[in-house]
Structure 1
Amino acid sequence: MKHSYKIMGILLLTLTVVLLTACGSVSNNDADQSKKNKSGKDDITIKHDTRTTKIAKNPKRVVALEFSFVDALAALGVKPVGVADDGDKNRILEPIRKDIGDYKSVGARKQPNLEEISNQKPDLIIADTNRHKGIQKDLEKIAPTIMLPSFDSDYKDNIEAFKTIAKAVGKEDKGKERLKEHNKLMDKYSKEITMDKSEAVLPAVISKSGLLAHPDNTYVGELLKELGFKNALNKTKTDHLSKYLKGPYLQLNSEVLSDINPGRMFIMADEGKNDPNLKNQEKDPVWNDLDAVKNDRVSVVDRNTWARARGIISSEEIAKELVEISKQKQNDKQQK
């Protein structure tokens, strides 16, 4: 009898252990499944460059490989941990530098340092569709990467990229509000620009290779069009021109420049009116025969602001500068 009780006790103990183990297994499975579900909920899908990428919700460590993306992050109140700044923080506009604070340089925009990007342990990398296509797979091995137009983008492309970045960093509502503010500011500045917008205008970067013109399908070209300006370049005159780095920028020779003969020019230079490349251009006999030069309608502007930044904040800076140029021209006329 005692033996029977002992056997029954062992059986009951064994059954209890089995039940506890099973319950523990179910509990662990539930916990694992909960973790998986939680992970799924924390992912968002971003559509970019004709594809989609899953990224963690509200990424905290963002690396930006173009100035326009830095501009967008600053406008959204997000501070990147890494920026491809060409090794020169001064290339980032001052109001943007103030907003983003300290960051780690990850090399040049044309050729970012992959090791340095990895060292920042990013949750998200924002790369350029044109410049970084060749290293896209390498970037994706480091962190989720979204590819957006910047180098060869126009103004409207950039607005769409801003919306995508806002969604990616969990700031869609703030992005919508910022765009409303942007549109109001641009409308205000457009009305305050008093110079004659009907004059055919040529926006161009001055470089060692000469003038790199920005037609309507470039960032500055379309921005000026949005502000009411008429571009001096048209498809007939520019079809045969060489393009810069496979982008929309066109290299002008003296013959084409003479043929275009713009009524106004915005020359984007690195070193202002004393830029050595500009001084060299001014020696060209064609230069002094241009209507823009003869009528004192050449404005030398900052290349970083006008050509490299390509963002919401920088476009507001450009529009604001155009208002100031208008005022200065008006004062000059009154003094004469």
Structure 2
Amino acid sequence: MQSVNRLPSLLAALLSAALTGAAGAQTTHTGLPCAGTTVTHAMGQTCVPKLPRRVVTLEWTHTENLLALGVQPVGAADLSGYAQWVRVPAALNASVQDVGTRQQPSLERIRALKPGLIITTRLRATQNYAGLSAIAPTIVFDPYAGGSQLAEMRATFQTTARLLGRERTAQQVLSNLDARLDRVRQDLKRGGRAGQSFVFAQAYTARGGAPTLRLFTGNSMLSELLTRVGLVNAWKAPAQPYGLSEVSLEALAGLNTTHFLYVAQQEDDVFGAPSVRPLWQALPFVKAGRAHALNERTWTFGGPLSALTLTGEISRALSSR
């Protein structure tokens, strides 16, 4: 996991790699000289017109990022899923059009919206990048390319802001996040929790009926946020591409942590199952009252507004015990 102190230099490097000034030698997806900004991204280089006004987002993070910048996309993928999971203080207008799933968005719906820019992620774009690029300039971000996921989140947000002419708004949003992290760090210190360990888990029943845990590794954005507020990740597994390890419930017995923060769905309470309850109730952090169930719709990914929501929820959970 990258040190928090290295975030400014990491951000500078990421932004330098992502953005270059407009250059006549670069061409648009139509073959014409670039009159905007040439962006180097996860799938190549793309000329983005100056201040595009009609933007389509194909991943929840990028939908959230636009809203945080005060911009409504003309179209976005999986609006119902976004409304269910992404709990941020910025709402989508009813006019935003659903363009299909994140995995397989409808090129026909996107084309009909006549976007000036499409923003997506490498995880989704490997199969449809050519088709998307034929419709409009398409930028592909990759939050799982390695390194600091927190630094990548910030750099992606700032790159998006620059393309849309919203740099000042982005700076204010990130300053608000940093201020919240500082306050939470001070609150935990005053409460005697500085340096305490945590494990963060998502618990669910996998296909086939096996109870499963996703434990967040040190390279996840979530872990970096909690490290930033003065906690220590007790799950020492090697860094994983998506920032989490999938393990069976047997791993619970080997966890040595002060706090166990977890998300589980009400209709899928794996810890309440008769076969699991004796093990669960015998765990030291459960007996000590330090197993903290978070809201079942807690979103552990996303942009700076999601990071604000997540940090606040964890702070409330830890302060209640």
Q: How high is the TM-score relative to the length of structure 2?
A: 0.77
Listed one character per residue, the Cα deviations across residues 17-43 of structure 1 (whole Å, up to 9, x for unaligned) are: xxxxxxxxxxxxxxxxxxxxxx96851
Map 1:235-254 onto structure 2 (within 5 A): 235=237, 247-254=242-249
Map 1:270-289 onto structure 2 (within 5 A): 270-271=265-266, 275-280=268-273, 283=276, 285-289=278-282
Map 1:158-173 onto structure 2 (within 5 A): 158-173=153-168
Gaps of 5+ in 1: 1-38, 330-336
Structure-2 change in CA distance of 1:52 and 1:130 (3 Å): same
Select 1:105's aligned residue among 95, 98, 106.
98
Shift of residue 304 of structure 1? 4.1
Q: Distance in 1 between matches of 2:157 and 2:110?
A: 22
Alignment check: 8 A CA contact 2:58 2:119 kept: yes
| Amino acid in the other structure paired with 2:306 | S
Select 2:313's aligned residue among 311, 321, 325.
321
Q: Distance in 2 between matches of 1:106 and 1:317?
A: 26
1:133 aligns with 2:126: yes
Select 2:193's aligned residue among 186, 192, 196.
196
RMSD: 2.9
Q: Distance in 1 between matches of 2:99 and 2:114?
A: 12
Partner of 2:174: 179
Alignment check: 8 A CA contact 1:150 1:310 kept: no
1:149 aligns with 2:146: no
Q: Which has the higher helix share?
A: 1
3-state SS of paired residue (1:125): strand
3-state SS of paired residue (1:310): coil
Structure-2 change in CA distance of 1:177 and 1:97 (3 Å): closer
Alignment check: 8 A CA contact 2:270 2:276 kept: no
| Amino acid in the other structure paired with 2:75 | G
Q: Distance in 1 between matches of 2:61 and 2:49?
A: 22
Map 1:89-100 onto structure 2 (within 5 A): 89-98=82-91
Alignment check: 8 A CA contact 1:55 1:144 kept: yes
Q: Percent identity?
A: 26
Listed one character per residue, the Cα deviations across residues 147-171 of structure 1 (whole Å, up to 9, x for unaligned) are: 1124677222111111111122222
3-state SS of paired residue (1:166): helix
Q: Distance in 1 between matches of 2:111 and 2:62?
A: 18
Partner of 2:232: 230
Shift of residue 53 of structure 1? 1.2
Listed one character per residue, the Cα deviations across residues 67-115 of structure 1 (whole Å, up to 9, x for unaligned) are: 2212211111111111222643522534445265541122222333333
Listed one character per residue, the Cα deviations across residues 47-68 of structure 1 (whole Å, up to 9, x for unaligned) are: 3227321011111111112222
Shift of residue 190 of structure 1? 2.4
1:115 aligns with 2:108: yes
Partner of 2:41: 48
Shift of residue 311 of structure 1? 1.3
Q: Distance in 2 between matches of 1:120 and 1:150?
A: 27
Q: Distance in 2 between matches of 1:112 and 1:226?
A: 36
Partner of 1:36: none
Partner of 2:256: 261
1:66 aligns with 2:59: yes
Q: Distance in 1 between matches of 2:292 and 2:69?
A: 31
Gaps of 5+ in 2: 1-31, 207-211
Alignment check: 8 A CA contact 1:65 1:112 kept: yes
Alignment check: 8 A CA contact 1:131 1:151 kept: no
Alignment check: 8 A CA contact 2:294 2:317 kept: no
1:306 aligns with 2:299: yes
Shift of residue 204 of structure 1? 1.3
| Paired residue total | 282
Structure-2 change in CA distance of 1:142 and 1:279 (3 Å): farther
Q: Which has the higher Rg, Structure 1 or Structure 2?
A: 1
Listed one character per residue, the Cα deviations across residues 233-280 of structure 1 (whole Å, up to 9, x for unaligned) are: 113xx58xxx7xx63321112333322233211112344xx6434534
Partner of 2:28: none
Q: How high is the TM-score relative to the length of structure 1?
A: 0.74
